[in-house]
Structure 1
Amino acid sequence: MKLSSKAQKIYSEIDKETTKLGDLRKFAKEIKKDHELAMELWSTGKFMPRQLAILIMDKKCLTQALIDQLDNDIQNHEFNEQNQLMDWLMANQLSKDKRLIALIESWENSPSKLQRRVFWYYQARLRWMGDTQHSNTGKLLDSIEKNLMKEEPEVQWAMNYTAGQIGKWQEEYRQRCISIGEKTKLYKDEMVAKNCTPSYLPEFIRIEVAKLNN
């Protein structure tokens, strides 16, 4: 796609190593919603322009077919960029609309690993402020116990994180979540920076529960 002059100007300003997420948010605040411009920026295939595109998309235009197209495009990025783009899409667009949330909730067994990641990360986000009023918690843990070690790494992380949030906030499920980590040993040998919480479930839950009790 040949870029319009407006898209080319923005692209030239943000496709730089010095561009920060805060800079993108400033651009998005000025542009507001502009789906056509978003698709132009998306067509560049570049990471920062695509992040800005996500911020200015019109969620009313996001269908399963378009999301599948975006998903396929995202999979051309390197691993960390894939996860950042898909998580950014979820946080800024997909989780803001009841119709799109219904799509997220249908993705547990999606053929797309990135859509499966969104399913699980969304479940974690529902719980991470202490909201425990969800009827599917037991079912989610059943699925985690059965499928965690069969999944792709990006999906594993989101499933594990969901178990961590459940174990943190719901005492009745805590030991079950700890046992998942003890059994799978997933992330047990992970090295984390100082003051960062490890992903290994027994340690994650111990540290996070201790924070609640302080």
Structure 2
Amino acid sequence: MERSSKAKNILAQIDDKTKLGDLRKIAKDIKKDHGLAMELWSTGEFLPRQLAILIMDNKLLSQDLIDELTKDMQRHPISEHNCLVDWLMANQLSKEKKTVALMQSWQNSPSPLQRRIFWYYQARLRWMGKTDHPNTEELLAAIENRISIEEPDVQWAMNFTAGWIGVFNKEYRARCIDIGEKNGLYKGKMVSKGCTPDYLPEFIAIESSKRNL
């Protein structure tokens, strides 16, 4: 497919030295342009796809289109597809009631990336300060039953959700720590300086202490 002059001009500004801040500046100038976003997405390249996510129109993100996007993301290396799917959740899906409702329906989606979005969104709600949720018990039961058999992408997001539940909901803290001790996920895994370990007993202890909880 012949690319538009607008797409060619944007792609000429992107190379392997382009940073996220640069993409945000380009997106700020473009604002919203769903057609251009789909052109950039069609390149199959990581950075143009990150930019595409920033300029999509979330009102046009149907389940069918999201299915296509997440299927495309699976073709990227794991570090890239996780970045793309988390970027899509944070910059588009969480900003429109219709797409929030879609995310909340993906707990048992056949797509592992959509399941990751479901769990990451649940974690994000909590770490951003909204901690009184009626589904916490249900989520913990699902984590206990499924985390050990889930895809690694999804395991991380489930673990992250359990971590923030353990931080903010004291009545569930021991249970969340127990999940980590039983499955041993991320135990002993080294993290960069200043980062919190993902191993639940350590994560909960550190993040709770930071907040005097």
Shorter-chain TM-score: which interval?
over 0.9
Distance in 2 (CA, whole Å) between partners of 1:42 and 1:18 is 19
Give the CA deviation at 1:189: 2.2
Task: Count residues with an aligned counterpart.
Answer: 213
CA-to-partner distance for each residue in 1:61-95, whole Å, 9 max, x for gaps?
11000000111111110000000000000111111
CA-to-partner distance for each residue in 1:8-36, whole Å, 9 max, x for gaps?
1101211x111010101100110011000
Which residue pairs with 2:186 in the alignment? Answer: 187
Asked if 1:48 corresponds to 2:47, the answer is yes
Q: Secondary structure at the match of 1:37?
A: helix
RMSD of the TM alignment (CA)? 0.9
Which residue pairs with 2:106 in the alignment? Answer: 107
Distance in 2 (CA, whole Å) between partners of 1:194 and 1:71 is 32
Distance in 2 (CA, whole Å) between partners of 1:109 and 1:77 is 22
Alignment of 1:33-182 (within 5 A): 33-182=32-181
Which residue pairs with 2:9 in the alignment? Answer: 9
Scaled by the length of structure 2, the TM-score of the pair is 0.98
Scaled by the length of structure 1, the TM-score of the pair is 0.98
Give the CA deviation at 1:174: 0.4
Give the CA deviation at 1:114: 0.1
Structure 1, unaligned runs of 5 or more: none
Residue identity opposite 1:97 in structure 2 = E
Structure 2, unaligned runs of 5 or more: none
Residue identity opposite 1:134 in structure 2 = H
Give the CA deviation at 1:129: 2.7
Distance in 2 (CA, whole Å) between partners of 1:7 and 1:164 is 41
Distance in 2 (CA, whole Å) between partners of 1:37 and 1:192 is 38
Residue identity opposite 1:2 in structure 2 = E
Distance in 1 (CA, whole Å) between partners of 2:75 and 2:110 is 16
Give the CA deviation at 1:196: 1.2
